[in-house]
A and B are shown apart, each in its own frame.
Chain A
Amino acid sequence: GAGVSQSPSNKVTEKGKDVELRCDPISGHTALYWYRQRLGQGLEFLIYFQGNSAPDKSGLPSDRFSAERTGESVSTLTIQRTQQEDSAVYLCASSLAWPGLAGGRFYSTGELFFGEGSRLTVL
C-alpha cells in the first residue's frame, strides 16, 4: 500500500494476556519506529529498526515488551502478560532516512510517516 499499515486497529484484551501488534511500513523504507501514546500524553519512543536490527531498545518499558522485524519489512510488537498501564495507542512509523549532518549542514528532513495506530485496551 501507499502508507504505513497497522493491525489490529483496535484490540481489547484481559489483563495477563499476550498481544501482538503488526506494522507494514512503506515499501523501501529502511527505518521503522514504534511509539506509543497514552491518554493525555505525548508520543513516547519505544524502539527503532534499521533494516532488521534494533540498535536501541532502551525505550521499551519493560521486558514484557519485545519487537522484531523481518525481511526489512513487517514488524511485530509483542506485549506479554499485559497490564492495565499498557493501554495506549501504539503507533508505527517508517522513514527513508533520518536527519543527518554532513559538512555542518542538515541533509534531510527525517520525515516519519506514521500509521493510524493500534488502540490497545487492557481490562
Chain B
Amino acid sequence: DQQVKQNSPSLSVQEGRISILNCDYTNSMFDYFLWYKKYPAEGPTFLISISSIKDKNEDGRFTVFLNKSAKHLSLHIVPSQPGDSAVYFCAASAVSGGSNYKLTFGKGTLLTVNP
C-alpha cells in the first residue's frame, strides 16, 4: 500500500526551462510535505517543505504547490540548471495525527537537466 506516489520515474528538461515534479498521496492524515534531493552515493538533502495550512511555498528557484482536495503536490524548479540533476523524493508526515517523526517517502523521480 503505497501512500505517497511519484508516478514518473524520470523527467528530462532543457537547461533554463521549468521542471515540474509531481506527487500524489492517499492518506488524508498527512498534513506536512517535504521534498528531498539525492545525488548518487550521497544521502538525501532537504529542499523545501509545505504544511497543509498553505497551498504554496517558495524558496528561490523552488516552489512547492499543494492541492489538498486532489491530494496532490508538485515541485517547480525555474529556471532548471544542470546541477539540479538528481533524484527527487516527495515525503509526507501526519503531524497533527501524532506521527510527526515518521516520513513516508515516494519512490523518487530522476530529473535530468540537459545543457
Contact = CB atoms under 8 A, between A and B. Distances in A.
B43 A42 contact: no
Contact of A31 (B44, B53, B101): B101
Contacts of B96: 101
A111 B47 CA distance: 9
Give the interface SS of chain B, mostly helix, strand, loop or mixed. Answer: strand
Contacts, number: 76
**Chain A interface category by residue count:** 20 to 34
A93 B101 contact: no
Given A42-B105, A42-B106, A110 B49 contact: yes
B95 A42 contact: no
Nearest to B102: A45
A110 B104 contact: no
A43 B42 CA distance: 14
Nearest to A104: B53
Interface of B: 4, 6, 32, 34, 36, 41-46, 49, 51, 53, 89, 91, 93, 95-96, 100-108
Nearest to A37: B105
Given A43-B89, A116-B41, A109 B102 contact: no
A60 to B, nearest CB: 13
A115 interface: yes
A99 B43 contact: no
Contacts of B41: 116
Interface centre among B44, B95, B106 (most CB of A within 10 A): B44
Given A42-B107, A116-B43, A105 B101 contact: no
Given A42-B105, A42-B106, A43-B105, A100 B95 contact: yes
A77 interface: no
B105 A110 contact: no
A33 B46 contact: no
A40 interface: yes
Nearest to A43: B105
A85 to B, nearest CB: 17
Given A91-B43, A117-B43, A45 B49 contact: no
